[in-house]
Amino acid sequence: MNKLFKKLLITATAILLVICYSTSVFAAGFDINNDNTVNVNDVTFLQNEISNFSDNTDYDLNNDGKLDVNDVSYLQIEISKSSLENNTQINISCTEYKKNVGDTFTVSVDTNNNVNEITYSSSDSSVAKIVATDKHSVKIKANKVGNATVTVKQCRETVTAKIKVEKARCVDLSEWNGDIDFNKVKKSGVTCVILRAGYGKDDNQEDNKFNEYYRQAKNAGLNVGAYWYSYATTIDAAKAEVRNCMKTIRGKEFDLPVFLDVEEYRQAVLPRRTLTDIISTFCDGIKGYGFDVGMYSAKSMLVDSAYPDELASKYLIWMATPNNSYNELPSFVDIHQYSWTGRVDGISEKADMNYIYNLNY
């Protein structure tokens, strides 16, 4: 036996003595000594076969057409891999989560196996959507009221996290709300804010507080969205509002959609087809820049002046109906503005209050 061959065999045997794992479930062909287990004894058996110049192709484990020390190394790797797989242990940071619609959160994963892939799945992606993963974490977006289970799997080991998602309390704000303490807003139980970015199609119509509100709300850990107040009565005007809106929101990162606010009388008296197309033009335009989109309007205007079912099939619907409960609203409503006179700690003026139930198109 040459020195290199002997050295490789000794190394392989020493490693296997440390990590060997006896089992009867290894792939057929590795139990080459037929003792119903795969361990270091199979390596010894293979060594002897090679030393005796056996030409039994059943022992050509790496299928390279010859029997040599490379088959010993191959057997070592397979035993090591199977040992690692069968001894895998995974844990997650928490097994139960209670979140609000709009929240994005991370579940940390610990594993003693840094070789095999970890997979993640959600029992209901409309409730708990997996948005990013890596070796040690999974990022989840709570998108709808409901319950879901996120499963983390590596080899044959699985762990689960139960996710309960509840409606989100939200305020929508503009410069008319004055100075705001967003930390107090967050502590009051509000988790989301939708900020007026601006209005119309002309220059210099950005909301004077938008950038300030955006920065402070983000720093307070609130989920942020935006809306653009529309005056458009033609398709061309809607396209101009898209361009104007994008001047303001470009480069911003939102947790909630960008909404078109439609409530002008001049729009309510348009033909239903015309108003529906105006809304679609704006929403599709903003969506084309990578933003989630939706529309806001009063119930009477949306139902009487547009085609709500058509719009609801493509965009989120935010409806103002302070005199109705959510259960009384059409089934396509995703966000309910239930009050125009709310009081929230951190906001001195009366505020518009909303509940967010769903963020899925």
CATH code, domain with 319: 3.20.20.80
142 and 173 part of one domain? no
Q: Domains in the chain: how many in total?
A: 3
- pLDDT per residue over 91-114, tens digit each? 999 999 999 999 999 999 999 888
Residues 344/188, Cβ–Cβ less than 8 Å: yes
| Residue 29 lies inside a defined structural domain of this protein | yes
Q: Which range of residues forms the domain containing residue 129? A: 90-166
Domain boundary among 86, 118, 144: 86
| Residue 24 lies inside a defined structural domain of this protein | yes
| Residue 249 lies inside a defined structural domain of this protein | yes
CA distance 216 to 235: 35
49 and 128 part of one domain? no
List Cβ neighbours of 199 (8 Å cut-off, separation of 6 or more).
205, 207, 228, 229, 230, 231
What tokens does 274 get? 């015309």
Would the pTM count as exceeding 0.85? no
Of 355, 2, 359, 358, nearest to 168 (Cα)? 355
| Residue 190 lies inside a defined structural domain of this protein | yes
205 and 188 part of one domain? yes
Of 197, 182, 166, nearest to 296 (Cα)? 197
300 and 215 part of one domain? yes
Domain boundary among 44, 60, 86: 86
Cα radius of gyration (the chain): 31
* DSSP calls for 122-186: ES-TTTEEEEEEETTEEEEEE-BSEEEEEEEEETTEEEEEEEEEEPEEEEEE-GGG-SB-HHHHH
Q: What is the pLDDT of residue 80?
A: 57
30 and 112 part of one domain? no
| Residue 108 lies inside a defined structural domain of this protein | yes
| Residue 361 lies inside a defined structural domain of this protein | no
CATH at residue 112: 2.60.40.1080
| Residue 196 lies inside a defined structural domain of this protein | yes
181 and 274 part of one domain? yes
240 and 216 part of one domain? yes
Q: What is the pLDDT of residue 47?
A: 65
| Segments of the chain scoring below 70 in pLDDT | 1-47, 49, 52-62, 65, 69, 71-86
Number of helices (H) and strands (E) in the chain: give both, helices first: 10, 16
211 and 133 part of one domain? no
159 and 46 part of one domain? no
Q: What is the pLDDT of residue 62?
A: 64
CA distance 128 to 315: 19
| Residue 269 lies inside a defined structural domain of this protein | yes
43 and 76 part of one domain? yes
Domain boundary among 127, 142, 166: 166
Q: What is the pLDDT of residue 156?
A: 86
304 and 205 part of one domain? yes
237 and 298 part of one domain? yes
- pLDDT per residue over 10-24, tens digit each? 344 333 333 333 333
Q: What is the pLDDT of residue 83?
A: 53
Contacts of 201-204 with C-beta under 8 Å, sequence gap 24+, read 201/231, 201/232, 201/237, 201/240, 201/241, 201/243, 201/244, 202/244, 203/244
